[in-house]
Amino acid sequence: MVRCAAVKKKGSTLQCTASALRGHSLCGIHAKAKTAEIWKDAREKDIRITKCQSIARRWLIVRRLRLGGPGVLHRTDLANDEEIVTCVEATRQHPFSYFAFTENGKTWWFDFDSLWTWSLKSDEPSNPYTREPLSSEVRKRLREAWAYRVRNNIPIVPETRDIEERIRCRLRMLYQTFVDNGFTDVSGGQLVRLSKSSHIAMWRFLRDDAPELSFITAHMLHQTILNAGAGMYIMNSLRNLMRVVVFKREPYNLVFAVMSAIYRC
């Protein structure tokens, strides 16, 4: 018995179970149809789609693992056996929350949340074990990992409820971003010292200098800053500046535009 060569029904990838007519490759029902989708063609199409999806998923996973740094999958020759805050063993640390870097030939690893919190405690964060300053590459990768989590709604350590400390943390992130892009003479305090009208002027300069930020500048000017209560404009402005410069993979041009806007206020 030769089975019908068509799919069982439209949109399906299952082969028709009926017998083909004698001397024909289709059953009586599909032979009368105006167009009959051949099961073999549908099967090959489905395989191609599945393969493309598999490649895309693999690329996304590899990209996220790359943010973890050395040893993310092979935990050998690590300088520390346990996480400094959570005390989790190296072999039990989940790859997606693992973050490591190499310093003087040794690989130090941390839980992402632990190192992220530590990096915002000073303008020039260091290795908690050796007190050696974190390299620009490590800080950039750390911010990239943070931005990845925020963009994909992955839970991260929440900001402190202390308003002043929250402002300081946001300033430190911006300061580190400015320095890592070559602007070493900037001070985070410049943003705090700006008045509300100066912050509004800064976003207007950004609107003119960086057209790709038109949506966020319009939001800042018409909804957030103009309607914010006393002092909250700094919080809102810093939050959006963080997202502007950190979410960008190559933020140099945006950092230049931000610095130019600050100095013109």
Residues 6+ apart with CB under 8 A from 53: none
Q: What is the pLDDT of residue 231?
A: 63
CB 19 within 8 A of CB 27: yes
The Cβ-side half-sphere exposure at 196, using a 13 Å CA radius, reads 11
pLDDT in tens, 35-62: 787 877 777 666 666 667 777 777 778 8
Concatenating the DSSP letter of every residue in 199-257 gives HHHHHHHHHHH-GGGHHHHHHIIIIITTT--TTHHHHHHHHHHHHHHHS-SS-HHHHHH
CA distance linking residue 233 with residue 239, whole number of Å: 10
CB 133 within 8 A of CB 103: no
The torsion angles phi and psi of 71, rounded to 5 degrees, stand at: 85, 10
Q: Helices 163-180 and 136-151 meet at what angle, rounded to 10?
A: 120
CA separation, residue 253 to residues 35, 66, 108, 183 (Å): 55, 25, 32, 12
Q: What is the pLDDT of residue 54?
A: 72
pLDDT in tens, 137-146: 999 999 999 9
Q: What is the pLDDT of residue 139?
A: 94
CB 262 within 8 A of CB 190: yes
Q: Which residues of the chain have pLDDT under 50?
A: none
Structure tokens at 54: 């598999």
- R_g over Cα of the chain: 28
Q: What is the pLDDT of residue 151?
A: 87
CA separation, residue 212 to residues 138, 218, 249, 251 (Å): 27, 11, 14, 12
Q: What is the pLDDT of residue 46?
A: 63
CA distance linking residue 200 with residue 206, whole number of Å: 10
Q: What is the pLDDT of residue 99?
A: 96
| pTM tops 0.85, yes or no | no
Q: What is the pLDDT of residue 187?
A: 65
